[in-house]
Structure 1
Amino acid sequence: MTINSINLVGRAGRDPEVRYFESGTIVANFTIAVNRRSRNEEPDWFNLEIWGKQAQVAADYVKKGSLLGITGSFKQDQWKDKNTGENKSKPVIRVDRLELLGSKKDSFNNGVSNNQSHINQQNPNDIPF
């Protein structure tokens, strides 16, 4: 039996880079920082790759600093450098499931939701009690 499953909770290190293909497929790439148990240590950084509907969710709602939960699998991207001809590689987490873990307040602060701003602008005389 073989298992290749990764679960991480962390914060987006940057806004997703999103690419749309002529076929209608979409891919989003960004990084996630996951804190270690000790606060004195630097976080671990992971490259994420998300395809399809989950990529559209990332494009619409994930911003730098968003708290996320992901489930995915490890893969090793490999390519040949065009300039040097050297073989290159980098570890990537292919995300199968993306969960937005931040609160509505976090979403508002990241510019995702404007419902709260509408509530704050109401006239105090309109309060029904």
Structure 2
Amino acid sequence: MSLNVVHLVGRVGGEPKIQYLPSGKAVCKMTLAVNRQSRNSDEPDWFNLELWNKTAEVAANYAPKGKLIGVKGSLRFDTWSDRNNSGTTRSTPVILVDRLELLGSKRDNESPTGNGSDGF
């Protein structure tokens, strides 16, 4: 048996960046700052998120910088060859988000639809 599930709650670290592929699919990339409870430092852990389709559009429209969100997804490693360092292989972790929850106070969740707490 194998299991690859990640659950995170934190604040959006920057404005979401959405792109539409020629196929019409939407992809959104954003960062998430998560405070670790066991640490005495004020520095959060940072995660790169990737969201697709309707979830990507919801994130782009309703999850601005500073918004408290919860995500569920899986861990993936993007790899590439470093052009400046003689082809050394590099990698970075990315959370491929399956579910997005808009969290926070009612004031934080104000949106044109009036309901910002639904999961997408």
Query: With structure 1 as the length reference, what TM-score do the two structures score?
Result: 0.78
In 2, distance between residues paired with 1:47 and 1:62? 14
Secondary structure at 1:60 match in 2: helix
Over alpha carbons, which structure has the higher Rg? 1
Does the Cα contact within 8 Å between 2:102 and 2:109 map onto a contact in 1? Answer: no
In 2, distance between residues paired with 1:7 and 1:26? 22
Report which of the two has the higher share of strand.
2
| Displacement after TM superposition at 1:87 (Å) | 1.8
Matched, 1:62 2:63: yes
Number of aligned residue pairs: give it.
Answer: 112
1:12-37 deviation line (CA, Å, top 9, x unaligned): 00111111111110111111011111
Query: With structure 2 as the length reference, what TM-score do the two structures score?
Result: 0.84
Secondary structure at 1:46 match in 2: strand
Equivalent residue letter for 2:6 = I
Which residue does 1:3 correspond to in 2? Answer: 3
Q: What is the correspondence of 1:1-129 to structure 2 with a 5 Å cutoff? A: 1-38=1-38, 40-41=40-41, 42-84=43-85, 85-108=87-110, 112-113=111-112
1:71-113 deviation line (CA, Å, top 9, x unaligned): 00000001123444332210000000000012331145xxx55
In 2, distance between residues paired with 1:4 and 1:39? 25
The percentage of counterpart residues that share the same residue type is 55
In 1, distance between residues paired with 2:52 and 2:34? 21
Equivalent residue letter for 1:75 = R
Secondary structure at 1:32 match in 2: strand
Does the Cα contact within 8 Å between 2:103 and 2:109 map onto a contact in 1? Answer: no
| Displacement after TM superposition at 1:39 (Å) | 6.4
Higher alpha-carbon deviation: 14-23 or 78-87: 78-87
Task: Specify every segment of 5 or more residues in structure 2 that has no aligned partner in the other structure, as ranges.
Answer: 115-120
Report which of the two has the higher share of helix.
1
Question: Aligned Cα RMSD in Å?
Answer: 1.9
